[in-house]
Amino acid sequence: MTFATIADVEAALAASIAPDAEAIAQARARQAQLTKPPGSLGRLEEIAVFFAGWQGRARPRIGRGRVAVFAGNHGIVAHNVSAFPAAVTAQMVATFEHGGAAINALARAAGLDLKVVALDLDRPTADFTTAPAMTEAECLAALSAGAATVEAGLDLLVLGEMGIGNTTAAAALCARSLGGDGSTWVGPGTGIDDAGIARKVAVVDRAIAHHADAPMTAFETLRRVGGREIAAIAGAVLRARELRVPVLLDGFICCSAVAPLAAAAPASIAHCLAGHCSAEPGHARLLAALGLEPILQLDMRLGEASGAAVAAGVVRAALAAHDGMATFTEAGVSGAG
């Protein structure tokens, strides 16, 4: 168990871990020599340099890339905050295992392996309008389950989630970590109607009021208004940083998992890129607050790591250009004169 105590979480947040400055300098120097006008591959160049730094390689690669999808159930579904029943969480986990979900197809297309971790689906979190969603032990176990999906030698980690009701938890995490209230962060999720959105806003506002006096630490925010799959994403992000594995974040819920981390220690998500900006209205606001520029914006609003898996294809393209292009000297092309 990586996170046996709350002090372990605090230590991971406070750890000083930076990308490899020499690999960054070498990657930048190489970019300047490739047969193209400087900067003409735009963000592909920045992505290649980012991966060089975190992988510690002047010519980064994605040999071993993994998608980890975490699933959990939520007590707040009792307030009728999703367009779908909670049973869909376990049904979709079964679909992931049979290979029939969007993420199965997209992970395969991106050449990434897929790990699905179902977290106590038969024990939903507590209704966080009246109690913490999880006990300390439950939250530590979820953080550790996330950390366990990351190992040294991974070249890329793509994170995602499945959990009916979790856009409500995500909105509460954003409000508690970044400010604003229910109306700032709530959206339609799976497609709930206006009356449902009003119920979600009220649930988030009641949750924020109920937990207002609790410590504003990352752990307490994850434990009180998060969920198991959300805490697992936070644990995977912290472990990936320790192992210097670059991370692609997915949509609104996935990014909400790192909001408490970023609020406590902005550097704790320095190894993360936003794969996409989803259509859930809070996501663009959340990305702006986190200082993350999404790679893609395709009006996706699925979750399951689907948007980040599509973005992994862009990362592959960026690294292929960085590694495979000739330099001006090799190609005998004249430089800028």
Ligand X SMILES: O=C(O)c1cccnc1
Q: Considering only residues 206, 239, 271, 301, which one is a binding residue for ligand X as defined by CB under 6 A?
A: 301
HSE-up of 83 (CA within 13 Å, CB side)? 9
Q: Does 280 bind ligand X (CB under 6 A)?
A: yes
Residue (of 249, 274, 260, 242) closest to 68 by Cα position:
249
What is the pattern of x (binds ligand X, CB under 6 A) and - over residues 302-321?
xx------------------
What is the sign, positive or negative, of the torsion defined by CA atoms of 225, 80, 186, 101?
positive
Q: Does 74 bind ligand X (CB under 6 A)?
A: no
Toward ligand X, which CB reaches closer, 30 or 200?
A: 200
From the list 161, 220, 229, 304, the catalytic residue is 304
Closest approach of Cβ 84 to ligand RBZ, in Å?
A: 4
38 to 57, contacts with ligand X by CB under 6 A? Answer: none
Toward ligand RBZ, which CB reaches closer, 52 or 172?
A: 172
Q: How far apart are CA 85 and CA 80, in angstroms?
A: 9
What is the pattern of x (binds ligand X, CB under 6 A) and - over residues 210-229?
--------------------
What is the pattern of x (binds ligand X, CB under 6 A) and - over residues 11-30?
--------------------
Per rule CB under 6 A, count of chain residues that contact ligand RBZ? 19
Please give the backbone phi and psi of residue 59, each rounded to the nearest 5 degrees, phi first.
-125, 85
145 to 174, contacts with ligand X by CB under 6 A? Answer: 167
**Residue whose C-beta lies closest to ligand X:** 251
Q: Does 236 bind ligand X (CB under 6 A)?
A: no
304 assigned to active site: yes
Given the rule CB under 6 A, which of 115-123, 155-163, 202-210, 234-242 is the region that contacts ligand RBZ?
A: 155-163
Given the rule CB under 6 A, which of 81-89, 116-124, 249-257, 321-329 is the region that contacts ligand X?
A: 249-257
68 to 127, contacts with ligand RBZ by CB under 6 A? Answer: 82-84, 88, 92
Q: Does 189 bind ligand X (CB under 6 A)?
A: yes
Closest approach of Cβ 283 to ligand X, in Å?
A: 5
Closest approach of Cβ 64 to ligand X, in Å?
A: 25
Cβ atoms of residues 9 and 219 within 8 Å: yes
Toward ligand RBZ, which CB reaches closer, 198 or 325?
A: 198
Q: Which among ligand X, ligand RBZ, none contacts residue 164 (Cβ within 5 to 8 A by kind)?
A: ligand RBZ
- Residues near ligand X (CB under 6 A) are 167, 189-190, 250-253, 278, 280, 283, 301-303
Active site residues: 304
